[in-house]
Amino acid sequence: MTTPHDRRLEAILQQADNLPSLPAVALEVLRLCRAEETTLDDLARALSADPALASRLLRFANSTLYGCGEEVRTLQRATLVLGMKTVQLMSLSFSLVAAVPRAGSCGAFDYALYWRRSLVRAVSARALAGLIALPAQDEAFLVGLLGEIGQVVLARCLAAEYQPVLLEAAREERGWPSRDLERRMLGFDHLDVGGVLLETWQLPRALRLALVHAGAPETLPAELPAEVVQLVRVTALASHATDLFTLARGACPLERVHTLARRWFALDETRVGALLAGLEAPIRETAGMLELELPAGRTHEQILEEARAGLAQRSPSQARQSEGLRTAVDPSKRSQILADPAHVDALTGCANAAAFQLLLEHEVRARLEGNVARPLGLLLVELDGFAALASEEARGEAQRALAGALARLTRKQDLAARIAPGRFAVLLGDATPFGQRALAARLRQELEGIVPRVAGLPLRLCASVGGACLAAVRHEGDGAALRQVVERMLAKAQARGPGQAEVHGAPLQAR
């Protein structure tokens, strides 16, 4: 039911100029998805009218965000693999990016920060929805992407009224306008505006409800459907994660994320920490997909370390918990092991099979003794066609190139080791299936850009990847069991063809 408050906002927006509108292709996709007789071929034909949108959908179908496990080359195949609901929602997401400005002359409004926050929120919401097995992952992405679109409308269409809000926010420590500040100075906030805009666009009601209520997830109307309640909570939690990674506010957003994740979804700090640490790669992948530039700045790992340090100073118990979240591979133990020349691979300079086995056993023991409380992740990477390479020189160059790629892509707390000719293992910190798929995709891209020359001829590199992570260690043999699972994942990837990755879809539960 439309309230006087809604009618006032509608009246304000009707008088506004430059209100973002849905592109023609997005409108046609909406129309087709509402028609019962629509086929996937109809959708593919409509999408082909917008080459940029079609290209983004294809990239999404092949990205770690979706992770369908097979290469998708045509729109018809993309619509079949993704399904009508996903095509509809992701088409809307990608179309709206084109409809909202990348920059503008709106005084104090920071478009670069707006887009960074939108990307972080969208990817965080989708990852969280996947972690809790919420079917509405695409809805979570779209609501996350639109979470602050009301601020764009206010900055462009009601600039005179909104400029004082932006200037006041700039003077505050937060540096970005909050709902409380907007309500205090305007009488309404950006979620109110966004809700009216989504209704104007005739987007699905569940999306509008999720966006409007995301600002007050703990006081929801009793009549909200259960799936909308979950979507609201996912979006709200993603917003706190967005504050953590985009605003200089210390440990407070991280503490809020932990509190709400435990209360709403029974997620402990280990699983939340792993999810947060694995977001940076898919956020950057999504930025590339949407042709948005992200600033350099601090990495997510650095931000998390600083936030955890802040929590540790406030609470001894949080200090102990934070310690368990930091690294999978004990730096002192790794340094001690790699200081022995017998544990360094002479060909590549990275760790060898003996070092990898020692560190794997050490990580298992650390978890059994309660010194580390976090998932244990493992990837196996094998060069495709390694045995068929023509010479010893070519095999050596290929392995050195792969070792270099792994060194660039892994973090200081991860360990990459050559464990057999043409085969490497990566022991991972902050391990989640989502993050492992992201690393596998980045490795494939990295190898495509490496073309060493052997005897004057280019050497094309390609590798298969298998991966899994163990939620918790219960027995001394769990490390070996994890490796067996990853071996099976690698075999499945190789059976699909060169350059494929297969990651177990959920953290393994030891018995």
Residue 22 scores a pLDDT above 70: yes
389, 460 in Cβ contact below 8 A? Answer: no
Residue 206 scores a pLDDT above 60: yes
Domains of the chain, residue spans = 21-99, 104-314, 327-509
In this predicted model, which residue has the larger pLDDT, 373 or 101?
101
Residue 324's pLDDT band, with cuts at 50, 70 and 90, is very low
Range 306-318 average pLDDT: 63
Range 239-245 average pLDDT: 92
| DSSP class per residue in 368-390 | HTTS--S-EEEEEEEETT-TT-S
Confidence at residue 467, expressed as pLDDT on a 0 to 100 scale: 94
Residue 235's pLDDT band, with cuts at 50, 70 and 90, is very high
R_g over Cα of the chain: 24
**70 vs 501: CA distance, rounded Å:** 9
Confidence at residue 337, expressed as pLDDT on a 0 to 100 scale: 81
Strands 463-472 and 376-383: antiparallel
Confidence at residue 173, expressed as pLDDT on a 0 to 100 scale: 57
In this predicted model, which residue has the larger pLDDT, 432 or 54?
54
Residue 325 scores a pLDDT above 80: no
Torsion of CA 216, 222, 224, 225, to 10 degrees: 130
**Cα dihedral 304, 261, 87, 203 sign:** negative
Pick from 61-75, 134-148, 164-178, 378-392: least confident? 61-75
Residue 208's pLDDT band, with cuts at 50, 70 and 90, is very high
Confidence at residue 318, expressed as pLDDT on a 0 to 100 scale: 46
Question: Average pLDDT over the chain, rounded to whole?
Answer: 83
Which residues does 447 contact at the CB level (< 8 Å), separation at least 6? Answer: 401, 402, 405, 461, 462, 463
In CATH, which of 3.30.70.270, 3.50.30.50, 3.40.640.10, 3.20.20.70 is domain 327-509? 3.30.70.270
Residue 480's pLDDT band, with cuts at 50, 70 and 90, is very high
**What number of other Cβ atoms are within 10 A of residue 305's Cβ?**
16
Which residues does 395 contact at the CB level (< 8 Å), separation at least 6? Answer: 386, 389, 421, 422
Range 16-25 average pLDDT: 70
Which CATH architecture best describes the domain 104-314? Orthogonal Bundle (1.10)
Range 444-450 average pLDDT: 85
Pick from 276-280, 342-346, 465-469: least confident? 276-280
Residue 373 scores a pLDDT above 70: no
Residue 327's pLDDT band, with cuts at 50, 70 and 90, is very low
Tell me the backbone φ, ψ of residue 200, rounded to 5 degrees: -60, -40
Range 137-148 average pLDDT: 92
Range 157-178 average pLDDT: 83
Residue 305 scores a pLDDT above 80: no
Confidence at residue 322, expressed as pLDDT on a 0 to 100 scale: 43
503, 433 in Cβ contact below 8 A? Answer: yes
